[in-house]
Structure 1
Amino acid sequence: MMSVKDKVIVITGASSGIGEASAKLLAKNGAKLVLGARREERLKEIVDQIIAAGGQATYQSTDVTQPGQVKALVQLAKDRFGGIDVIFNNAGIMPSSPISALHIDEWNAMIDINLKGVLNGVAAVMPDFTSQKHGQIITTSSVAGIKSFPGAGVYGATKFAVRNLMEVIRMESAQEGTNIRTATLYPAAINTELLHTITDQNTRAGMDSLYNSVGIGPDAVARVVNFAVDQPEDVNVNEFIIYPTKQG
């Protein structure tokens, strides 16, 4: 039996891309999905599609920079499906630019969403995961959380931070005996709406050209998420780098 079945999974950044693809695949395999993002109309559409296909899902408009809203999303999972097994911290933005361009507002937005948003997700599930002594935290970092790329100084800084955070959660949970599993995803050129957040024209042109030539769909990452959730409780598959085969 697949251990994805009947798991209650909260996904942030669920209105498109990796979040949407993961929600649909997990629901197809019998998980109960609770979807959060800022675009409520997109969430409703995705949930309607999941239910029409015979799956179970609900949604709530969620801004991950607001701790109370992330808590409310987790509470919805408990109210609607009776518990929480997995949170997938997937919300993120990538307005890449050279540091010298000083897009300081964009730096702050990346820190608020890509790093604090993940921390808000962790905080929202930690009391339940600790008391029930099981749970899984999956987070989208980036290949820019492993390697340094010009143009991605602050974006990469948030993604390196997430990498460290997730590994420390894994180690501390092992020490504390709470059995919390972590999985960190490092996607490379995956075709999603992420590029739409880039305002710096030169950076955008370079990224568009790369993604147009080698990019692959978000289903590639969804399958990895499904694989991680599907492992037995005593197995923690904790880091995944997902490259298009064509990307050098």
Structure 2
Amino acid sequence: MLTPIKNKVTIVTGGSKGIGKGIAKVFAKQGAKVMIVARGEDSAKATVNEIIKEGGIADYVLCDVSDWDSVQALVNTTLEKFGSVDILCANAGIFPQIKMSEMSPDDWDQVMSTNLKSTFLSVKACIPIFEKQNKGRVIVTSSITGPITGYPGWSHYGASKAGQLGFIKTAAMELAGFNTTINAVMPGNIATEGLDDLGEEYLASMAASIPLKSLGAVEDIANAALFFASDEASYITGQQIVVDGGQILPESMDAIAEM
């Protein structure tokens, strides 16, 4: 059993939907005080209300995670509300699908700012707190797409996710001076509301390519993040873990058939 994270103040960027919402709810269920960071107020309020209804503690901040002043404001608001920042889950991300032949420089910049720059900004904003406390945890939501796999239309997304893994290697060394770790979770295909419009047939074909024969749940990613946030992971930093049901393992669909 992991050491409880009860009363640990946790910021979750992109915390109102999808994987971020799963992380927020799992951490709150474990007793953390969760600050949801999002762009949309309706979804942020709804997630906070869900957490409170289930007996957890949560609030929200509206924030542009690619803007330094906005990120500093969210950290200051969290300090005012909860008194500290113990855990940062840098989860915010977008994944618009567009091939390079049609992708504009602005399309590229938007994804890199939202996914990669925001990771740097949110960590940077928390450094003075981690240094003062001489303790902290950072968990980054990366992806198998980019570091391991590729998919047409996601060159910008893949680059941003591979960039996050490059970032945590040096960040781990710089954060180590004040007893703070940083690690990444790399999800495969996870069932979120973003897949609702794809249809049952398409989702079934996705599941068929995964050795464990199902899409992952947001809780699967949240549980990996929970481990990295725990005392038991205190000697692990600058590392990443793939959570994908074995998705990256088969050489081809023939390999799946041979199972």
Q: TM-score, normalised by structure 2?
A: 0.83
Whether the 8 Å contact between 1:10 and 1:73 is mirrored in structure 2 is no
Q: Which amino acid counterpart does residue 133 of structure 1 have in structure 2?
A: N
Q: Which amino acid counterpart does residue 161 of structure 2 have in structure 1?
A: K
Q: Which residue of 2 aligns with 1:82?
A: 83
- 1:211 Cα deviation from its structure 2 partner: 3.9
Q: Which residue of 2 aligns with 1:203?
A: none
Q: Could you tell me which of 158, 165, 168 is aligned with 2:167?
A: 165
Q: Taking structure 1 as reference, are residues 159 and 218 closer, same or farther at Cα in structure 2, changes over 3 Å only? A: same
Q: Taking structure 1 as reference, are residues 116 and 128 closer, same or farther at Cα in structure 2, changes over 3 Å only? A: same
- Tell me the distance in 1 between the aligned counterparts of 2:206 and 2:95: 14
Q: Which residue of 1 aligns with 2:59?
A: 58
Within a 5 Å distance, the mapping from 1:82-101 to structure 2 comes to 82-101=83-102
- 1:215 Cα deviation from its structure 2 partner: 2.3
- Tell me the distance in 2 between the aligned counterparts of 1:105 and 1:6: 41
- Tell me the distance in 2 between the aligned counterparts of 1:137 and 1:171: 13
Whether the 8 Å contact between 1:94 and 1:195 is mirrored in structure 2 is no
CA RMSD of aligned residues (A): 2.6
- Tell me the distance in 2 between the aligned counterparts of 1:210 and 1:72: 43
Whether the 8 Å contact between 1:139 and 1:184 is mirrored in structure 2 is yes
Q: Taking structure 1 as reference, are residues 100 and 210 closer, same or farther at Cα in structure 2, changes over 3 Å only? A: farther
1:3-41 CA-partner distances (Å, limit 9, x unpaired): 311110000101111111111111111111011101111
Within a 5 Å distance, the mapping from 1:37-186 to structure 2 comes to 37-151=38-152, 152-174=154-176, 177-186=177-186
Q: Which moved more, 1:48-57 or 1:141-150?
A: 141-150
| 2:208 counterpart of 1:190 | no
Q: Which amino acid counterpart does residue 182 of structure 1 have in structure 2?
A: I
- Give secondary structure in 2 for the equivalent of 1:241: strand
- Give secondary structure in 2 for the equivalent of 1:220: helix
- Tell me the distance in 2 between the aligned counterparts of 1:56 and 1:41: 18
1:177-232 CA-partner distances (Å, limit 9, x unpaired): 21111121111111225569xxxxxxxxxx86754654222111011111221234
Q: Taking structure 1 as reference, are residues 31 and 54 closer, same or farther at Cα in structure 2, changes over 3 Å only? A: same
Q: Which ranges in structure 1 are unaligned for 5 or more consecutive residues? A: 197-206
- 1:44 Cα deviation from its structure 2 partner: 0.9
1:136-165 CA-partner distances (Å, limit 9, x unpaired): 111111102422414222211111111011
- Tell me the distance in 1 between the aligned counterparts of 2:98 and 2:81: 42
Whether the 8 Å contact between 2:138 and 2:229 is mirrored in structure 1 is no
Q: Which amino acid counterpart does residue 222 of structure 1 have in structure 2?
A: A
Q: Taking structure 1 as reference, are residues 89 and 172 closer, same or farther at Cα in structure 2, changes over 3 Å only? A: same
- Tell me the distance in 2 between the aligned counterparts of 1:186 and 1:217: 13
- Tell me the distance in 1 between the aligned counterparts of 2:224 and 2:233: 17
Q: Which residue of 2 aligns with 1:240?
A: 241
Q: Which ranges in structure 2 are unaligned for 5 or more consecutive residues? A: 197-201, 209-213, 251-259
Q: Taking structure 1 as reference, are residues 113 and 193 closer, same or farther at Cα in structure 2, changes over 3 Å only? A: farther
Q: Which moved more, 1:59-68 or 1:101-110?
A: 101-110
Q: Taking structure 1 as reference, are residues 210 and 130 closer, same or farther at Cα in structure 2, changes over 3 Å only? A: farther
- Tell me the distance in 2 between the aligned counterparts of 1:192 and 1:241: 18
Residue identity over aligned pairs, in percent, reads: 31
- Give secondary structure in 2 for the equivalent of 1:136: strand
Q: Which residue of 2 aligns with 1:204?
A: none
- Give secondary structure in 1 for the equivalent of 2:97: coil
- Tell me the distance in 2 between the aligned counterparts of 1:245 and 1:161: 23
Whether the 8 Å contact between 2:14 and 2:92 is mirrored in structure 1 is yes
- Give secondary structure in 1 for the equivalent of 2:139: strand
- Tell me the distance in 1 between the aligned counterparts of 2:232 and 2:245: 28
Q: TM-score, normalised by structure 1?
A: 0.87
